[in-house]
Amino acid sequence: MTERDAYIQTMEAEQRAATARFLEIEAQAGLAESEDELDLLFDARERSDDFHREVQALRHADHQDWHRAKADAEKARTRFDDALDRAGDQWELLRAGYRREREAELRHLGALVALWEAAQLLSRHEVELLKRGLQDARGLLMHLGRSHGAAWTHAREDYEATWRDLRAHTHHLHDDNLASLS
């Protein structure tokens, strides 16, 4: 294998790794709260396409164009890495913000359950059921905090389904208790 072939293989491997990183970020696109955040993904996608084109040009470059194609591929790789870093940093902030909001909701619901328990508005079984639901939701939220990419998206879906069920059960119990007080 020539030095040129080895270099092309290295660039192709870097391209695959960067593309995998991009796909992880893209899988979390549902977190985007503004056009600017979506623009980060669009920019990263464009840089990915540029890098791919330059690696292909590098593969097909003749001896005369080799150094120019190599420099262009390096520049495209650097731009793609920079775009991925910006998008990754932004998505990390979005994931952290989402998690903080969910933690606050769980704390609030936990305080309500404690209040209802202290006021003896719920049966022991209902309190245990709600506490178990809160514990399950906290566990899923912790898992969410450790997940990235498509795994994060699935963990978010699991958490939100558990949260919806817990909230529906809480509303049902709360409404039943208010009706019994009337």
Which pLDDT does position 83 carry in this prediction? 94
Burial environment of residue 44 by CB neighbours within 10 A (0 to 12, 13 to 18, 19 or more) = buried
Which pLDDT does position 102 carry in this prediction? 95
Average pLDDT over residues 94-110: 93
Which pLDDT does position 155 carry in this prediction? 93
Residue 112 in this model has a pLDDT that exceeds 70? yes
Which of 1-10, 11-20, 56-65, 173-182 has the least mean pLDDT?
Answer: 173-182
Q: Domain residues of the chain, as ranges?
A: 3-181
Average pLDDT over residues 70-76: 93
The full DSSP string for 118-170 is: HTT-S-HHHHHHHHHHHHHHHHHHHHHHH--HHHHHHHHHHHHHHHHHHHHHH
Give how far Cα 140 sits from Cα of 7, 29, 117, Å.
44, 20, 24
Which of 45-49, 89-93, 110-114, 148-152 has the least mean pLDDT?
Answer: 148-152
The full DSSP string for 61-72 is: --TTTHHHHHHH
Average pLDDT over residues 152-174: 90
Average pLDDT over residues 76-100: 92
Handedness of CA 138, 139, 142, 148 (dihedral sign): negative
Residue 84 in this model has a pLDDT that exceeds 90? yes
Which of 2-6, 33-37, 101-105 has the least mean pLDDT?
Answer: 33-37
Q: If we measure between CA atoms, which residue out of 103, 175, 98, 155 comes closest to residue 134?
A: 103
C-alpha to C-alpha distance for 85 and 21, rounded to whole angstroms? 10
Average pLDDT over residues 157-162: 95
For the segment 45-69, what is each residue's pLDDT rounded down to a tens digit? 999 999 999 999 988 888 788 889 9
Which pLDDT does position 177 carry in this prediction? 63
